[in-house]
Structure 1
Amino acid sequence: MADLKAAFEQAQKDVKTLTKRPGNDDLLFLYAHYKQGAEGDVNGSRPGMLDMVGRAKYDAWAKLKGTSSDAAMQKYLDKVAALLQSHK
């Protein structure tokens, strides 16, 4: 588990080195899996109708409810690895 956590932290640094901006779907995927891996299930209330970005982020994270932190971290790592191949 310590190895997964270390790789997760490294992936957070690696994703910032991308030279091309990923699409919105990829960004939402990364956001949701990061939050699920780092904090667990979504908390707080859903943002209002006028906060479309906040609402999209909340909804993406809420879809992962019940996913284990380890599973979310692994999917985050896999996505970052794929993005590093295609967006460098």
Structure 2
Amino acid sequence: MADLKAAFEAAVANSKTLAERPDNATLLKIYALYKQATTGDNAEKKPGFGDLVGRAKWDAWNAVKGTPAEAAMQQYVDLIESLR
């Protein structure tokens, strides 16, 4: 677990220095996995129709609901590594 946490923290740092900006779908996946790994299941109220960005983020995070934190961390690390 300590190794995974260190790899996750390194991936978070690496996500800020990617050579090129990922597409929006990939950015939403990165966001969702980060939130699932650090916060857990989405328990927030769904944003209204006027907040398109907030709604997209909420939907992406809600899509990974039930994923254990360790699995979300590993998926996040794998995704960032694939983008480098």
User: Do both proteins adopt the same fold according to a TM-score greater than 0.5, normalized to the shorter chain?
Assistant: yes
How many residues are paired up?
84
Taking the aligned partners of 1:5 and 1:43, their CA distance within structure 2 comes to 23
**Unaligned runs of at least 5 residues, structure 2:** none
Identity within the alignment, %: 55
CA RMSD of aligned residues (A): 0.6
What is the CA distance between 1:15 and its match in structure 2? 0.9
Q: What amino acid is the match of 1:49?
A: F
Number of the residue aligned with 2:19: 19
Normalized against structure 2, the TM-score is what? 0.97
Where does structure 1 differ by over 3 angstroms across 4 or more consecutive aligned residues? Answer: none
What is the CA distance between 1:19 and its match in structure 2? 2.3
Q: What amino acid is the match of 2:74?
A: Q
What is the CA distance between 1:44 and its match in structure 2? 1.4
1:61-72 aligned at under 5 Å gives the runs 61-72=61-72
* Partner SS for 2:57: helix
Q: Which deviations, in whole Å up to 9, do the C-alpha atoms of 1:21-73 show, x marking residues without a partner? A: 10001100000000000110002100010100000000000011111001100
Taking the aligned partners of 2:72 and 2:35, their CA distance within structure 1 comes to 9
Number of the residue aligned with 2:50: 50
Matched, 1:30 2:27: no
